[in-house]
């Protein structure tokens, strides 16, 4: 379990942060190789997109479980020491990623058309 088939992905979820606090969290995230997500919520086409008011999360990647585990532990510890409320952390083992290999051949448009035509025949 120390080396992933493709990579490990770690997520850390905290209370929502804005403006200066968001910058502070972003700097902590970068220190440990994480990136802060920028989510915009838009309930309808007429609404203006706005930042999520429910939570803020960051994501980190790595191929070695021990490395991503330590980075996850350290980012959580520093966030808590800096006064942020951490609600969740998790590490996922990515078994399939179409950016690496489209094993179901769903994203190759030309091949999809051929498979659909063959299936219908």
Q: State the CATH number of the domain containing residue 27.
A: 3.30.70.1150
Say if 34 falls within a structural domain. yes
Claim: this prediction has a pTM higher than 0.75: yes
Say if 17 falls within a structural domain. yes
Say if 19 falls within a structural domain. yes
Going by C-beta distance under 8 Å and a sequence separation of 6 or more, which residues neighbour residue 82?
24, 28
Say if 72 falls within a structural domain. yes
Say if 114 falls within a structural domain. yes
Q: Provide the residue range defining the domain that includes 7.
A: 3-41+51-120
Say if 75 falls within a structural domain. yes
- The residue with tokens 């969740």 is 88
Note down pLDDT in tens along the chain; length 121 residues. 688 889 999 999 999 999 999 999 999 999 999 999 986 555 677 766 666 778 899 999 999 999 999 999 999 999 999 999 999 999 999 999 999 999 999 998 655 555 554 554 4
Domain count, the chain: 1
Q: Helices 19-31 and 65-81 sit at what angle, rounded to 10 degrees?
A: 150
Say if 58 falls within a structural domain. yes
Say if 107 falls within a structural domain. yes
Closest CA to 58 of 92, 28, 93, 94: 28
Q: What sign does the dihedral 18-20-24-29 (CA atoms) show?
A: positive
């Amino acid at each position: 379990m120390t080396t992933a088939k493709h990579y490990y992905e770690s997520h850390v979820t905290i209370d929502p942060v804005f403006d200066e606090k968001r910058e502070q969290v972003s700097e902590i995230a970068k220190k440990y190789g994480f990136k802060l997500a920028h989510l915009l919520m838009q309930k309808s086409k007429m609404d203006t997109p706005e930042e999520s008011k429910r939570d803020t999360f960051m994501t980190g990647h790595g191929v070695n479980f021990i490395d991503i585990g330590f980075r996850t532990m350290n980012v959580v510890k520093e966030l808590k020491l800096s006064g942020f409320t951490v609600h969740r952390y998790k590490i996922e083992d990515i078994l399939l990623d179409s950016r690496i290999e489209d094993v179901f051949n769903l994203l190759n448009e030309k091949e999809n058309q051929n498979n659909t035509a063959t299936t219908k025949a």
